[in-house]
Each structure stands twice: as C-alpha cells, then as structure tokens.
Amino acid sequence: MLFRVGRWPALLLSGLLLWWGALTPAMAAAPRMVSAAVDELNLRNGPGNKYEARWTVAKGYPLKVVSVRGKWLQVSDFENDKAWVYRPMTNATPHHVVKAKVANLRRSPNTKSAVVSRMEYGDVLRTLSRRGDWVQVRTTGGRTGWVARNLVWGW
C-alpha cells in the first residue's frame, strides 16, 4: 500500500511538468514590451556600455523585447530595427508610437468623431486604454483622445 501511495506524487509531478512544458512555449510566444524610462535612451550594437550607441529614443518610446542577456535587453522597434538597451533604464508603462505618416487624434473612438489633434510619424503616445480597434492615448503635449490601432505600434 505504501508503494502505491508513493507513486501518486510522482505521477502528479510528471503531469505538472508535462503541463508546464506545454504552457511555457505559449507564454514565450506573447511579445514582452518595455518603454524608455529615461529622457534619452541609448540603443547599442551589443549588450554593454563598451558597444557603440547606434541611436537614441525619447522617454516613453515602446520597444519589443527579443532576448535577454543579464541586465541587457535586445529589443526591436516599430521599424523592426534591433539593438540593446540597459534594462534598468526601461519600465512597464505602456506607450504607442505613430507608424502612419499622419494620424488623427479623435474625441471618441470612431471616424466620425471630431479631430482633436494631428500626430505625425514617430510621435510617442502614452497608452491610457483600449476599446476594440481604438487606443486612448495622451500626447507629449498633454492632449488626450483616441487613435485607430492600425495607425500606431506598441502596447
């Protein structure tokens, strides 16, 4: 009897490990996003200060995490350019960036709503909420409104 009871924990552990093994790839498939937490974030050729800074982005700029090496993140931007950033200089505050040449910021989430402001390619927007195909955002100038999700990139 003791032998059979001893098998149950092993079977439960095996089942748990199989379940976790099936779940882990699904979790890994979801892109992890970060935003620049400093006024000017260097994007480098490699994971360390010894690597050249290829370009910089402003505070709030959204980035997709591609891989991790210690405290360094390999990231890609909305143009799919890849570089490395120092993780402590990023945060989990959601932002979007305008990927269209021009995007209208609207009073409410529909195309018939009044245009509050016009935004341009590369403008960084603070994400406030989402509703269907629309994202509520705040511009760096403080204006709040809605933009069609297909005109922006981020989280």
pLDDT tens-place string over residues 17-66? 454 554 444 444 556 999 999 999 999 999 999 999 999 999 999 999 99
- pLDDT value, residue 3: 47
Q: Is 122 left (phi over 0), alpha (psi -120 to 50) or beta?
A: left
CA distance 95 to 77: 12
Q: What is the CATH number of domain 95-154?
A: 2.30.30.40
Please state, as a whole number, how many other Cβ atoms lie within 10 Å of the Cβ of residue 118. Answer: 11
The tokens describing 82, both together, are 């890849």
Contact 98, 152 (CB under 8 A): yes
- pLDDT value, residue 21: 52
- pLDDT value, residue 23: 44
CA distance 7 to 144: 60
Cα 4 versus chain centre, distance: 49
Mean residue pLDDT across the chain = 88
Contact 76, 82 (CB under 8 A): yes
> Which residues in the chain are classed under CATH 2.30.30.40?
32-91, 95-154
Tens of pLDDT, residues 101-133: 999 999 999 999 999 999 999 999 999 999 999
Pairing of strands 40-44, 53-58: antiparallel
Tens of pLDDT, residues 56-70: 999 999 999 999 999
Superfamily in which the 32-91 domain is placed by CATH: SH3 Domains (2.30.30.40)
